[in-house]
Amino acid sequence: MQTIHLKEYEIFIGAVGEKLQQFLKQKNYTKIAIILDENTRRHCLPIFTQLLDSTNFAIIEIHSGEQNKNIETCQRIWNQMMEAGLDRHSLTINLGGGVIGDMGGFCAATFKRGMDFIQLPTTLLSQVDASIGGKLGIDFNHLKNSIGVFRNPQAVFIEPRFLKTLPEREVRSGFAEIIKHSLIADAGQWEDLQQIEDLGQVNWEVFLQPSLKIKKKIVAEDPFEKGIRKALNFGHTIGHAIESFALPGKQPLLHGEAIAIGMICEAWLSHEIGGFPIEEVTTIARFILQIYGTCPLNKKDYPYLIELMTKDKKNENERINFTLINPVGKALINQTCDESLIEKSLQFYEKVALDKKQGKDENPKFSEEV
């Protein structure tokens, strides 16, 4: 088992059963509740209960999905916390992906002004992304994570057995953050990633630890996102807007799927604003499209997408704030540009996606054509 030591807590990666037992024994909580959804109840709870002797937990079940990460679900969770008799010396265990981790953590952090919680992330995305940084929250008015707090868990337990329960689409979604970490901070890992051909064959433990260490280093320097932590926002300004936009639809995009699109757009902006080589943009776009396929955008939706970006909590003085890259492995924070250039970056995505669909992606000349 690997351990990553952070300033305020530890992340355990591997067969975490024994560590989890130890933790619960040491802490002696008055009560313990597990927050889960119908998916993790079915697929992960059986694995979880195998890890432990005792099963004396309250179960708080919510409906899965980003569309339920809202204040109404929080009210149901708080209600069930009360009914279960939790107090501020109790523990919440968040057993699920990013939605459970963010919202369960937020509810724990605000219940009776704060109780302890631990994260058992069950998706690749939440294992690589939500384990570090203490960001908790919910969506509000269709704006992602616009209500929340910063607060660290008591510990994070990353159990690789949970990943075997995931549909392929969920794995792809998590992979986007691993791509991002390499693009902003580790050119060597970016080379390694490009060797991956089949996500189903990857031993994720190999990539999880280096990826978590990149995030650890960046967050430690800037816990409250005043400066360099913004490096982690690469792909996220446009990606979040696309994710928010797709949220009310019948088949919402997963976070990583939206961020993958955002990284293509923002790699192109990196070229336009920062002189990032167009060949590198092409390489990134081709790799991402090969894994994620293409997603139709529509020109008539551009203004609404840009409106969503203007409401992004990363902005200052109502200017849309970007993190770009140049070269691979180095992030440029606090970049801004005209809205027309943002629209062009969306057009760039549509162009490469179309070329990909039509099999024309072997020799793209994106920059000239848009």
110 touches its own copies (CB under 8 A): yes
Q: Which of 24, 58, 147, 199 forms a contact with its own copies (CB under 8 A)? A: 147
What token pair was written down for 334?
A: 């606090």
- Using omega within 30 degrees of 0 as the cis cutoff, is the peptide bond preceding 327 cis? yes
| Degrees to nearest 5, angle at CA 137 with 269 and 102 | 95
Residues in 295-354 that interact with its own copies by CB under 8 A? 311, 313, 315-318
What token pair was written down for 3?
A: 């351990």
71 touches its own copies (CB under 8 A): yes
Distance, CA of 250 to CA of 248 (rounded, Å): 7
Residues in 198-227 that interact with its own copies by CB under 8 A? 224
Q: Select the span of 85-93, 192-200, 251-259, 260-268 touching its own copies (CB under 8 A).
A: 85-93
Q: Which of 24, 51, 58, 143 forms a contact with its own copies (CB under 8 A)? A: 143
Contact in structure between 106 and 137 (CB atoms under 8 Å): yes
CB of 165 or CB of 315, closer to its own copies: 315
Contact in structure between 13 and 4 (CB atoms under 8 Å): yes
Q: Select the span of 111-119, 275-283, 325-333, 356-364 touching its own copies (CB under 8 A).
A: 111-119
Q: Which of 79, 290, 298, 334 forms a contact with its own copies (CB under 8 A)? A: 79
Distance, CA of 290 to CA of 199 (rounded, Å): 12
Give the DSSP letter of residue 253: P
75 touches its own copies (CB under 8 A): yes
Q: β-strand 331-335 against 322-325: which pairing, if any? A: antiparallel
CB of 150 or CB of 205, closer to its own copies: 150
CB of 70 or CB of 165, closer to its own copies: 70
Measured from the Cβ of residue 316, the count of other Cβ atoms closer than 10 Å reads: 9
Minimum CB–partner distance for residue 137 and its own copies (Å): 6
Distance, CA of 26 to CA of 11 (rounded, Å): 17
Largest Cα–Cα separation, the chain? 64
Minimum CB–partner distance for residue 133 and its own copies (Å): 11
150 touches its own copies (CB under 8 A): yes
Residue ranges that bind its own copies, judged by CB under 8 A: 30, 71, 75, 78-79, 82, 85, 87-89, 109-114, 135-137, 140-141, 143, 145-150, 224, 311, 313, 315-318
